[in-house]
Amino acid sequence: MSDPTESRREPSTCWGNDAAHIVEELFPVTDPSHWNLLLDLRGQLLAGKDWNFALDLFLAARQAMETDHYLPFYRLRRLLTAGLRLESEHAIGRTLGDLLQRKHRSLAEARKALHRELFEHGVDLPAGIPALKIVERAAV
Amino acid sequence: MSTHTAAKQKTNPVVKGLETLLADSYALLGQTHLAHWNVEGPAFFALHAAFQAQYEELFTAVDDVAERIRALDAYAPGGLATLAKQSSIDEMTVGPAPAKDFVAHLIEGHETLLAGAKELRKVSEEAGDLETQDLVIARIQSHEKTLWMLKSFLKNL
């Protein structure tokens, strides 16, 4: 689990801090059984080191809590797509926004679904489906 | 009204606030209309009708706000491009989306507009312009009521 006392980073944009703040607001309104997941997600959003892990945590948290808390997860989705992108979005013709609109439970599941979808549409990628690597958008 | 008066009023903070309120209201009207057209799913009939009532209310409101600007001896801004530049309401991407996303998007739009309206309420009070303040308070009440309704739709009980 991430250290909740970890100091906030100072990124070029404050989207990560805004997203972490939304996660913090979920603590008092969610079941304590979800708090470890929320703590980990908050820590990853603030640390900004492993965006694939952060996305997997977001997908797991959304799966567990979105039914009762749609608005905060909508806001998180908007912040994540504003701050992050798929490194291979041009090669696969899908954006992170497209991916997050589906209800995948993990990035691995998203990759499998994408593989099936491209196969069904007859899209041939010579090098196969690249790994879904999540990277931060360049600061404007 | 002389050109001199109109130019002077352009820098009046109450007029500037009303221009922002007008631009944001027009943008939100457009987004609500878009939601009315494009919403899909089991809640279609309820949301389609609710969004229509909301954009019709906003259409009346923009007229009241623009006429208040005129009553203050300034000219009301107009035209989609001009108003879009002055508004801070985000636009939703056109395409298939869950009905709840339309509701959540409009909630964010109403929240953005409300923040500006509350600032304008303060500015008009400080300027001693109670008529503008009265208009803005009515707008705040309307947006808070719409927010309550939209947020209620997202609740899972």
Tell whether A36 lies on the interface with B, counting CB pairs under 8 A: no
pTM of the model: 0.87
Please say whether the beta carbons of B31 and B105 come within 8 A: yes
Distance CA B24, CA B21 (A): 5
Q: Which amino acid type is present at position A89?
A: E
Tell whether A74 lies on the interface with B, counting CB pairs under 8 A: yes
Residues 6+ apart with CB under 8 A from B130: B124
pLDDT of residue A5: 42
pLDDT of residue B69: 98
Number of residues that this document lists for chain A = 140
Tell whether A103 lies on the interface with B, counting CB pairs under 8 A: no
pLDDT mean over B133-151? 98
Residues of B in contact with A97 (CB under 8 A): 93
pLDDT of residue A126: 66
Q: Between chains, do A101 and B151 touch, taking CB under 8 Å as contact?
A: no
Q: What is the pLDDT of residues A58-84, one digit of tens each?
A: 999 999 999 999 999 999 999 999 999
Q: Tokens at residue B109, please?
A: 């739009």
Please say whether the beta carbons of A127 and A101 come within 8 A: no
Please say whether the beta carbons of A100 and A54 come within 8 A: no
Q: Tokens at residue A17, please?
A: 């801090």
Confidence of residue A30 (pLDDT cuts 50, 70, 90): very high
The CA angle A98-A56-A47, to the nearest 5 degrees, is 110
pLDDT mean over A122-137? 78
- What is residue A86's three-state secondary structure? strand
Confidence of residue B2 (pLDDT cuts 50, 70, 90): low
